[in-house]
Amino acid sequence: MSATESLAAATIPDPQSVAGRFQRRRTFIAVRQLPSAEAGRQPSDVIPATSTSPGVHAGLLDRHRAVLPSWLALYYQHPIELVDGEGCWVSDAEGRRYLDFFGGILTTLSGHNVPAVVEAIRDQAGRILHTSTLYLIEPMIELAEEITSRSGIPDAKVFFTTSGTEATDAALMLATNYRRSNQVLALRNSYHGRSFAAMGVTGNRSWSASNFSPLSVHYVHGGYRFRSPFKDLEDADYTAACVNDLRDVIAYQTAGDLACMIAEPVQGVGGFVVPPDGFLGAMAEVLRDHGALLISDEVQTGWGRTGEHFWGYEAHGVVPDLLTFAKGLGNGLAIGGVVARAEIMDALDANHISTFGGNPLATAGALANLRYMLEHGLQENTKRVGSRMIEELRNATSEMAVVGEVRGRGLMIGLELVEPDGYEPASDTAAEVMELTRSGGLLIGRGGLYGNCLRIAPPMSVSDTEADRGLEIVMEALHRVDRR
């Protein structure tokens, strides 16, 4: 037995048990022994046949394990370090080159090493890095002006944070304070961050380490139809069934004085799940009957990532009371935030500051990135390229038993992999496809409750040629696992 097989056997519980599926999801290790890299086609212009610096990753992994938490997830049987990038391409520490179709978890929006963004960061770093919000920060104010004018929220104000998780916490603080209630609704299969409060509103067991929460949280049906009891209903009937479930949850499980509901327009970690258009709008009508607020989590869907709209909520005929953002705005810089109506944002009656949120470096870089995205039509490119990729994947996989569903919007593309029965999650197969695509020179992501969903999300600047090459690598991998 190889070292890899021994490790897998030692760490993966019974694959038939629910606990086993959760453990597999956390370890990101495939049980099967993968075919050798040389067995697949590897063009020399994508990945060198041999590493230019062999052994670098193994040594780095040993150091990682010695000083970082065991629960910090890493992709691949043999994790890699990415050290250089340009556009949609990255290189690892051993000299291999890849197409990056996951962008640091949908964060590299405009692409790697964009000159306009790099120059803005260098210019600001050469002047001053940090002051805190105790002082006026012109790049922060200018960025807030850009965001509020595009938010769709009337009389909007912005509070900047350093991450999407912190943005979730801030939004929940604002909503519960405004409504004087700690009762919160969230959707099943959702993900909103890794902090104590954000984990409490995450409706995905594989990303919730505890059921402790400062909030009283209840979960309602969301847009994940593949495993829903309502999956066979038409869009309007599906939405109506979920709305009725929402009413029942409020009536039976809450005291009625709700603070808010938080929802992702497209569930990201959940596997790029797209609800029917108008879904959140129908939910919001029920919320309004109870005076509750709607928080749209735009951490992954914002900035045109869905192609058709600048914000994901725009597909639902509703304007949220608050929205959160992060990831793509900074193109890799640590920035996030909350947009809310002034009456909600200004309702706090204690002193508040942020040491790092809205700092000069992050906001100067984010402002340059946002302007680059707008000036170069990246949302339009996302709609065009993303729609074509989704259509081609659906056509190419229509006869594949291993693919249960292809879904997505814009450059948020998900493939749900299943066992031969067409329903059971194929978590191990998804891990194998991850290894095969990496060997072929492509980096993608995983998601879903059982880790059986492939996630494809290249930078919004991806070209047609790069999209075609990425699809070719994905299809080669899927063909190999589907033939067994």
Model pLDDT for residues 213-261, shown as the tens digit of each residue: 999 999 999 999 999 999 999 999 999 999 999 999 999 999 999 999 9
The DSSP letter of residue 33 is P
Q: What is the three-class DSSP state of 37?
A: helix
User: Quick one: pLDDT at residue 51?
Assistant: 66
Contact 293, 324 (CB under 8 A): no
Q: Which two tokens stand for residue 448?
A: 């879903």
What DSSP letter does each residue of 121-133 carry, written as one string? HHHHHTT-S---T
pTM over 0.85, yes/no: yes
State the average pLDDT over residues 478-483: 94
As a whole number of angstroms, the distance between CA 50 and CA 248 comes to: 59
Q: What is the DSSP pairing of strand 336-341 with strand 322-325?
A: antiparallel
User: Quick one: pLDDT at residue 31?
Assistant: 29
Work out the mean pLDDT of the chain and round it to a whole number.
91
* CA-wise closest residue to 202 among 136, 267, 278, 125: 267
Does 310 or 213 have the greater pLDDT score?
310
Question: Could you report the per-residue pLDDT of 75-121, keeping only the tens digit for each?
Answer: 999 999 999 999 999 999 999 999 999 999 999 999 999 999 999 99
The DSSP letter of residue 319 is -
User: Quick one: pLDDT at residue 85?
Assistant: 98
Q: Which residues lie across from 418 on neighbouring strands?
A: 425
User: Quick one: pLDDT at residue 1?
Assistant: 38
CA angle 374, 380, 385 (to 5 degrees): 135
User: Quick one: pLDDT at residue 418?
Assistant: 98
Q: What is the three-class DSSP state of 343?
A: helix
Question: Could you report the per-residue pLDDT of 384-442, keeping only the tens digit for each?
Answer: 999 999 999 999 999 999 999 999 999 999 999 999 999 999 999 999 999 999 999 99
User: Quick one: pLDDT at residue 319?
Assistant: 98
pLDDT confidence bin for 4, thresholds 50/70/90: very low
Q: CA of 476: how far to CAs of 11, 174, 238, 472, in Å?
A: 29, 48, 35, 6
pLDDT > 90: percent of the chain: 86
Domains of the chain: 3-106+378-482 (3.90.1150.10), 117-375 (3.40.640.10)
Question: Could you report the per-residue pLDDT of 58-80, keeping only the tens digit for each?
Answer: 999 999 999 999 999 999 999 99
Length of the chain: 484
Stretch among 43-57, 302-316, 357-371, 426-440 having the lowest mean pLDDT: 43-57
User: Quick one: pLDDT at residue 210?
Assistant: 83
What DSSP letter does each residue of 81-115 carry, written as one string? -EEEEEBTEEEETTS-EEEESSHHHHT-SS-BT-H
State the average pLDDT over residues 317-321: 98
Intra-chain end-to-end CA distance of the chain, in Å:
22
As a whole number of angstroms, the distance between CA 133 and CA 161 comes to: 11
Question: Could you report the per-residue pLDDT of 147-180, keeping only the tens digit for each?
Answer: 999 999 999 999 999 999 999 999 999 999 999 9
User: Quick one: pLDDT at residue 442?
Assistant: 98
User: Quick one: pLDDT at residue 450?
Assistant: 97
Stretch among 207-216, 217-226, 291-300, 336-345 having the lowest mean pLDDT: 207-216
State the average pLDDT over residues 338-343: 98
pLDDT confidence bin for 50, thresholds 50/70/90: low
Q: Which two tokens stand for residue 106?
A: 């949908």
Stretch among 9-18, 206-215, 406-415, 461-470 having the lowest mean pLDDT: 9-18
As a whole number of angstroms, the distance between CA 215 and CA 181 comes to: 9
Residue 187 scores a pLDDT above 80? yes
